[in-house]
Structures are given as C-alpha cells and as structure tokens.
C-alpha cells in the first residue's frame, strides 16, 4: 500500500474556526481519503462539508450529488458524536428537555475521557462506487434502537441516510456506518 500523505494540492476552504488543516486529511492509498477528528470538533464544526470538499478535489462529484453525500455524511457524523462517543440515547421531545439535552452535551464535552474520543471518516472510490465510512468510539447500538416513531420530532437520520445512499451497512457492533453511492462511467455518485 502506498504511504499515507497529506493532501496539499486542493483548493477546498478550511474555515478559520475549524481546527483542521490540509495536513489533517490524508490520502492513504490510491483512491482513498481519511480524516480523524476529535469529538468536540465533530460536534461543533461542519466536518462533513470539509470532507466532501476535499473528496471533490480527488474525484468528480457534481454539486447535486455532493449535496446528498454531504447530508448523509452529516447525519452519520452527528449520530457518531451524539449516540456513539457521547453515549446519549434518544432525543428530547419538549423545549425544556432540549435545554437539558444541550446542557448534558456541554458537560460531556468537558469530560476528558469523552473528549479524547474521535470520529474517523474514510472514503474510497472506483469507477462504479463511492464508499464513505464513519466510525465512532462508542458502544454501538442495538437493532431495537432502530425502531422509530415516524411522528417523533427526531430520529430521521438513519432513514434519511438510507434514502440518500444506495446502501447503508453497519459493522463493528454498529460503531461503523458504511454509506455506498453509485458512480457511473461519467463520474457522478448517486
């Protein structure tokens, strides 16, 4: 396998508030891209947009497809942070509960053990497929947690990912989600 090297030849925008640079995103082989960020960075910053922008420097992704990929990746990262690394279950249903939920997130982000956890994002592509994996350091989840009330004001992330990607699969006790998008010979993922 080729040695890892940071991406240096890309015009992607890195917001000043994002604690990342081109040195943090690696080409780990032919047609492979990898990024690891801390839990707090993944929670507070739009890591999905930065990753998709860097991906677009390596493989043609039309804007409309990039939007679908970005949204599915954003949902995967949000789940990895909130339910994986922070270990939160469920979501609040009332404004009061939402306030307590946000307070709990703030407290968890101050915990050194929780803060040290990371989210890994990797992509690989071929002429036919684009695959993006997101891995957290949480406990994983059970199939029962996939049962969701469609009328609830939350919990739409997994169904949305399934709608935007061709295939969604989980590995490593459901700590890794793999999103697969079709590509045709012209280059655009689905």
| Dist CA 79 CA 114 (whole Å) | 15
pLDDT at 165: 94
**Domains identified in the chain and CATH numbers:** 21-145+158-182 (3.30.565.10)
| Burial classification of residue 159, based on how many CB atoms lie within 10 Å of its CB (0-12 exposed, 13-18 middle, 19 or more buried) | middle
At 11-32, the pLDDT tens digits run: 555 554 455 554 555 666 678 8
Report the pLDDT value the prediction gives residue 28, as an integer from 0 to 100: 65
pLDDT in tens, 88-114: 887 788 888 889 999 999 999 999 999
Q: Give pLDDT, residue 39.
A: 94
Higher pLDDT, 2 or 49: 49
Is-contact 158 79, C-beta < 8 A? yes
Most confident of 50-54, 69-73, 143-147, 151-155: 69-73
Residue 72 CA to residue 89 CA, distance in Å, equals 20
pLDDT for res 59: 86
Q: Is there a contact between 10 and 30 (Cβ–Cβ < 8 Å)?
A: no
* Number of neighbours of residue 31 by Cβ within 10 angstroms: 14
* Whole-number average pLDDT of the chain: 80
Q: Please report the pLDDT score of residue 183 as a whole number.
A: 77
43-77, pLDDT tens digit by residue?
999 999 989 988 888 888 777 788 899 999 999 99
Per-residue confidence (pLDDT) for residue 3, from 0 to 100: 44
Between these two residues, 34 and 28, which has the higher pLDDT value? 34
Mean pLDDT of 130-147: 80
Residue 167: strand pairing partners: 180
């Amino acid at each position: 396998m080729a040695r890892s090297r940071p991406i240096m030849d890309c015009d992607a925008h890195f917001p000043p508030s994002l604690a990342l640079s081109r040195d943090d995103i690696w080409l780990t082989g032919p047609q492979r891209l990898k990024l690891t960020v801390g839990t707090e960075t993944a929670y507070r910053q739009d890591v999905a947009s930065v990753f998709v922008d860097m991906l677009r420097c390596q493989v043609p992704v039309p804007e409309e497809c990039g939007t679908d990929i970005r949204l599915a990746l954003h949902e995967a990262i949000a789940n990895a942070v909130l339910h994986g690394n922070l270990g939160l279950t469920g979501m609040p249903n009332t404004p009061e509960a939402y306030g307590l939920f946000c307070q709990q997130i703030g407290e968890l982000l101050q915990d050194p053990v929780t803060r040290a956890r990371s989210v890994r994002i990797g992509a690989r592509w071929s002429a036919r497929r684009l695959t993006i994996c997101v891995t957290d350091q949480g406990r994983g989840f059970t199939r029962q947690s996939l049962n969701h009330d469609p009328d609830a004001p939350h919990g739409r992330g997994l169904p949305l990912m399934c709608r935007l990607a061709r295939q969604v699969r989980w590995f490593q006790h459901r700590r890794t989600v793999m999103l697969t998008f079709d590509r045709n010979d012209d280059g655009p993922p689905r």
